[in-house]
Amino acid sequence: MNKFFYKAAFLGIMGAMFVSCSSDDSTSRDDDNPNVGTKYVHKVLIEDATGTWCQYCPRVTYAIEQAKANEEYGNKVVAVAVHLGIQQYPDLMQIAGVMPLYNFYQSTGLTGFPYALINRGDKWSTPEPNNLAQLFNTISKEGSPVGIKISSDLNNSGGTVSASFRFSEGYEGLKYSIFVIENDVKTPQSPQQNTTSYYGGVRVDADFVHNDVLRGFSGSITGNELESVTAGQEVSKTDQSVDFTLFNNDLSKVEVVVFVSDNSGKVLNVQVAHANQTVDYQTM
């Protein structure tokens, strides 16, 4: 009997400790909605306004590759290369309907190339390997209040993308964007670019590989409206149509980028997924 008594007392004490710990944890969350207070892995969006005619633009490509290769932060870097041609040298990678996005970049301070925008908030100054800190410093170690889930059903010319969003805080005036990008793209370079060598000290030629190339978008290229959201709410945008033309006709080189921006235009979080693969919410 004494052994039974001691065992019961021990279990009772441990149970009380467990209840106490659980009670403390619940103070930071809403029992009715576990999404309240949740933080999601924060990633940074780089929009690279570029062109095959641009002598200095490959240095941005090189800097992005160096950023993605970083052991600590590389998996939190998402890039979109937006190609824009000029009259003398049209860019074969420029897509139809891109001009509103170019006009938006001009409103943020684009006065010349190369030009790279971080989270639609700051220009990436001298975007070279010696200035990766500016990029990495924008990644929040505490996470983001916005989580993003992506799935898609794509073929070589288009398809649909479904995106879901969870919010641990309330917001008004949000927008979401869906981009389709292609990697390992090679196109003829302009004679102007062939005469320079700004890619990590290596000469740029017709075999230069372009990654993260914007090939299509869903809805508006400058962002689609999201209704006002409350803390803990989940919003889904299913089967969003997108059309594109690929250079490689290889979906293994295609990715979907989805991001959410606030009413000031700043990107709150971004996520990327390979074509026809699902990336779920990534919590801290």
Are residues 240 and 164 in contact, defined by beta-carbon separation less than 8 angstroms? no
For 198, the domain range is 44-274
Query: Which stretches of 174-280 are DSSP H helices?
Result: 191-194
57 has a pLDDT exceeding 90: no
What are the start-end ranges of the E strands in the chain? 44-50, 77-83, 115-118, 122-123, 146-155, 158-167, 175-182, 213-217, 224-225, 234-243, 254-261, 267-274
Kindly state whether residue 55 falls inside one of the protein's structural domains: yes
The residue among 213, 212, 214, 196 whose CA lies nearest residue 204 is: 196
Kindly state whether residue 152 falls inside one of the protein's structural domains: yes
Identify which has the larger pLDDT, 60 or 272. 272
CATH of the domain at 87: 2.60.40.10
Say how far apart CA 176 and CA 260 lie, in whole Å: 4
Kindly state whether residue 20 falls inside one of the protein's structural domains: no
CA angle, 250 then 86 then 200, to 5° = 65
pLDDT tier for residue 59 given thresholds of 50, 70 and 90: confident
- pLDDT for 22 equals 30
Residues 6+ apart with CB under 8 A from 170: 228, 229, 230, 231, 233
32 has a pLDDT exceeding 70: no
Of 54-63, 98-107, 146-155, give the lowest mean pLDDT range. 54-63
Kindly state whether residue 38 falls inside one of the protein's structural domains: no
- pLDDT for 56 equals 80
- pLDDT for 198 equals 54
- pLDDT for 4 equals 41
Its pTM stands at 0.85
CA angle, 86 then 242 then 167, to 5° = 105
pLDDT tens, position by position, 143-202:
999 999 999 999 999 999 999 999 999 999 999 999 999 999 987 555 555 444 455 555
Kindly state whether residue 282 falls inside one of the protein's structural domains: no
- pLDDT for 55 equals 78
Kindly state whether residue 29 falls inside one of the protein's structural domains: no
- Tell me the one-letter amino acid at 222: T
Residue 152 corresponds to which tokens in the numbers above? 């898609």
**Number of domain units in the chain:** 1
- pLDDT for 6 equals 41
Identify which has the larger pLDDT, 8 or 167. 167
Are residues 100 and 27 in contact, defined by beta-carbon separation less than 8 angstroms? no
Residues 6+ apart with CB under 8 A from 183: 211, 212, 213, 253, 254, 255
Give the burial class of 273: count Cβ atoms within 10 A of its Cβ; 0-12 exposed, 13-18 middle, 19 or more buried.
buried
